[in-house]
Chain A
Amino acid sequence: GQQLNQSPQSMFIQEGEDVSMNCTSSSIFNTWLWYKQDPGEGPVLLIALYKAGELTSNGRLTAQFGITRKDSFLNISASIPSDVGIYFCAGPTQSNDYKLSFGAGTTVTVRA
């Protein structure tokens, strides 16, 4: 499968801060997906991106599909305590393949 490099591995954020995380790949992606996993739960799809350069928002979340098609970032604006969790990027292993590869995840903890 394709290698996804996700960074940072973890972050402590102050409530109200804007934060950003990103994912890079050595191969071109046609789709980028961002998931959030709360403790004891399965991952929940936050944002899906389908076109290079696409910028999509979901509430306080904004994600972009990089122009090179090898990267994507996720921003969280005005973070709140419920933003705590693990965020994963994911994408198809090959063009037109239904199987997903996942990044290692970014663990977000909100500093009180």
Chain B
Amino acid sequence: SAVISQKPSRDICQRGTSLTIQCQVDSQVTMMFWYRQQPGQSLTLIATANQGSEATYESGFVIDKFPISRPNLTFSTLTVSNMSPEDSSIYLCSVDDGRLNEQFFGPGTRLTVL
């Protein structure tokens, strides 16, 4: 399976600021995904990021709040904009090789907003 890294691993931010999270994969993948995991909760899909097209957002998530870039087949970024304490969560990226529905996850970015 692909090896996925995320930066930063954790951060503490002030409300009103923005944070960009990076996701790097060691092989080329077609589909990358961004999830949010609120404290003590399960994973919720934010958006699907395919190279060469706009990200597709799930209900409840908008591009202005969570802009995503996917400049190539091994890299993506998620920005959490104008943060509030409610944005405190773990943000995870994952990849899918497009054949078997199996997704592989990065280690996550633990965000705390004060």
Contact = CB atoms under 8 A, between A and B. Distances in A.
Contacts of B33: 99
B111 to A, nearest CB: 13
Given A42-B105, A42-B107, A45-B104, A98 B43 contact: no
A44 B41 CA distance: 16
Nearest to B90: A42
A92 B4 CA distance: 21
Q: How many interface residues does chain A have, given as a range?
A: 20 to 34
A98 B103 CA distance: 9
Given A98-B96, A99-B48, A45 B102 contact: yes
A91 B108 CA distance: 20
Given A88-B43, A98-B31, A99-B48, A42 B92 contact: yes
A40 B44 CA distance: 17
Contact of A102 (B43, B96, B101, B107): B43
A98 B107 contact: no
A92 B104 CA distance: 14
A48 interface: yes
Contact of A33 (B102, B108, B110): B102
Interface string A25-69: 000001101010000111111001010000000000000000000
Contacts of A92: 101
B104 A105 contact: no
Interface string B3-34: 01000000000000000000000000001010
B43 A43 contact: yes
Contacts of B110: 40
Contact of B101 (A40, A98, A105): A98
